[in-house]
Amino acid sequence: MSVITRVRNRIDRLAAYRWRNASYVSASRPIVIGGCPRSGTTLLRRILDTHPDIACGPESTFFLPGRPLPARLARGYGVPEEEVKRLLRESDSQGAFIDAFMKGYTERVGVRRWAEKTPLNIRFVPWIWAHFPQARFVHIIRDGRDTVCSMRVHADRKLVSGEWVRRERVQALEPLARRWVHDLRLGQSYREDSRYVDVRYEDLVQEPRPALERLFRAIGEPFDERVMEYRTRTERVKADANAEEKRETIHGRSIERWRTDLSPDEQALVKRIAGPLLIELGYAADDAW
């Protein structure tokens, strides 16, 4: 790498750091969803997007470090790419850009509050609350044994000759179990803050009404019967950016899939890493599972 390239990269990193950390405090009240991947964040996004006063579009990575990709936001939110680029040019900070973009989005779809789902939000809660102090953070929790089963077959889609091609890669189990523990512990560290609320995937699937009534009380919104119809109601935005998450099937059969998906040796590996937290969360009574 040449000296000129290294200098340019350093300048770009410094500019990105300053843009992210510029002084900005939002007055908006977003609902931010995060948690370990494959824990049900997509399910919760669809439910919130069904509420008449809330819009929760496809995963945007708004709150993560780095400038978002205009093309991705344009596809996902149905706005011209040039409009996204204009907002990026005119925004003095990452927080200001988020507010400007979502203000236009909520006005376009006719709601008063917005939500955003990106699993990695769980890693950036302090930044979110520093710049969006009225945000409510929703941590979705799922049995770690089922979560690693879902995570280890990683599927994505690649555009080839104008068509989406599905690809699957099998990932090692141990780092996935460690990630589940890490993300869960990180989320739990915010439990004493009134802006934090957690919800369990199993409750959303098996007993959605009481789980959602509690959730909407916590985020300061009235429960609306229409959220129970999320499986049949049309999403506010349907675009290419939603394609990957639409493949996920939400049903009760996803619960305790580990019993058939994990071999005895794999169960022992997960138990060694995640066993204490599974017991703490009530997913296992003891280590005899």
What pLDDT digit, counting tens, does each position of 165-189 carry? 777 778 899 999 999 999 999 999 9
What separation, in Å, do the N-terminal and C-terminal C-alpha atoms of the chain show?
A: 53
**What is the model's pLDDT at position 135?**
98
Q: Which residues, including other chains, have CB under 8 Å from residue 149's CB and lie 6 or more apart?
A: 257, 258, 261, 262
- CA distances 116 to 6, 9, 41, 59, 194, Å, are 35, 30, 10, 7, 19
**pLDDT for 237:** 62
The CA distance from 84 to 35, in Å, is 27
pLDDT for 159: 67
DSSP state of 229: G
pLDDT 10s digits, 232-265? 665 666 544 444 454 444 456 789 999 999 999 9
Q: pLDDT (tens digit, 9 = 90+) per residue, 275-288?
A: 999 999 999 999 89
Q: Which domains does the chain have, with CATH numbers?
A: 24-280 (3.40.50.300)
Task: Give the residues of the chain that fall short of pLDDT 50.
Answer: 239-244, 246-250
The reported pLDDT for the residue numbered 247 is 42
255 Cβ neighbours under 8 A, 6+ residues apart: 143, 146, 202, 205, 206
Which DSSP letter does residue 110 get? Answer: T
| Paired residues of 168 in beta bridges | 155
Among candidates 160, 166, 140, 130, which has minimal Cα distance to 246? 166
pLDDT at 170: 80
Report field, pTM of the whole predicted structure over 0.85: yes
pLDDT at 7: 67
